[in-house]
Chains A and B, each alone.
Chain A
């Protein structure tokens, strides 16, 4: 096992892990985090080459995490009851964030890396929320039930 230490402002471990495994199949073993002030560990198989380590370091540098959370998972299907989604993109130069809300692209305005979105529904349904173009950014998926 080889360890690559990288300092990052913020990490979405699952998203970075997925990005590493996509680019370095069979060589990326995982990611460990310790505390915000300490470099993360990227774990690579012993077969990883210096080029593989460079690829992993590049992916880590490009990592632009997005975190999704909701204040509730159920809303009344009355067109007014709302769930509030919080979107956090903590990287200082984070790219714009667009969510997929029930399959529809919804841009989110970020202020200091944080944005919010209200979800309402007039009909009973299940509303899936994820990040558009989520590679190396997020694996978060939320589900809001309108009942």
Chain B
């Protein structure tokens, strides 16, 4: 159900059933179920990278494409990763935190072998149409690991990525 820009009503205008269905019913339905996508990725194996530049964690399975009407998307991700990993979100072809070489954030506790990484982003200024959001990462040094359902005890974590149009 697509969004229709609400009409501006004028005094004396006759409102038809079609008008109400389009501008009231359909728009309310749209607002109640805006474009959204949720990924809970059980990869049955961990992801690793030694890349010292940002690359997709998984360009096939940790990627969301939303076709939006407005220009604002709320996106979040949660992962468990080794303490040498740094994360960002690629929006179409631009990293969200491209102003910094080290992206959005790193694994929380550098003093331990692994830690949680979670972020929520309000992404504004998007154009109407299709947009792609991908989780990216790089290693500070050595081999970074993102746990993704390997089945190994104490590291059998599931990464999540979700996005919803909010305005």
Contacts and interface: CB of A to CB of B under 8 A. Distances in A.
A36 B45 contact: yes
A30 B45 contact: no
B37 to A, nearest CB: 20
Main secondary structure of the interface of B (DSSP, over half): loop
A13 B51 CA distance: 10
A34 B45 contact: yes
Interface in A1-27: 1, 3, 13-14, 16-17
Contact of A32 (B43, B45, B51): B51
Interface stretch (B52-60, B67-75, B104-112): B52-60
A1 B142 CA distance: 19
A14 B52 CA distance: 12
Nearest to A32: B49
Given A13-B143, A14-B143, A17-B143, A31 B49 contact: yes
Contacts of A41: 55
A30 B43 contact: no
B55 A32 contact: yes
B86 interface: no
Classify chain A's interface size.
Answer: 10 to 19
Contacts, number: 52
Given A13-B143, A14-B142, A30 B47 contact: no
B51 A31 contact: yes
A41 to B, nearest CB: 7
B160 interface: no
B51 A33 contact: no
Contacts of A1: 53, 55
Interface string B35-65: 0000000011101111111011110000000
A43 B54 CA distance: 10
Nearest to A14: B143
15 contacts: A1-B53, A3-B55, A13-B48, A13-B50, A13-B143, A14-B143, A30-B50, A30-B52, A30-B138, A31-B50, A33-B47, A33-B49, A34-B47, A35-B43, A43-B51
Interface of A: 1, 3, 13-14, 16-17, 29-36, 41, 43
**A-B CB proximity, top 10 nearest:** A30-B51, A17-B50, A35-B45, A30-B50, A32-B49, A33-B48, A13-B143, A14-B143, A43-B51, A31-B50
Interface of B: 43-45, 47-53, 55-58, 138-139, 142-143
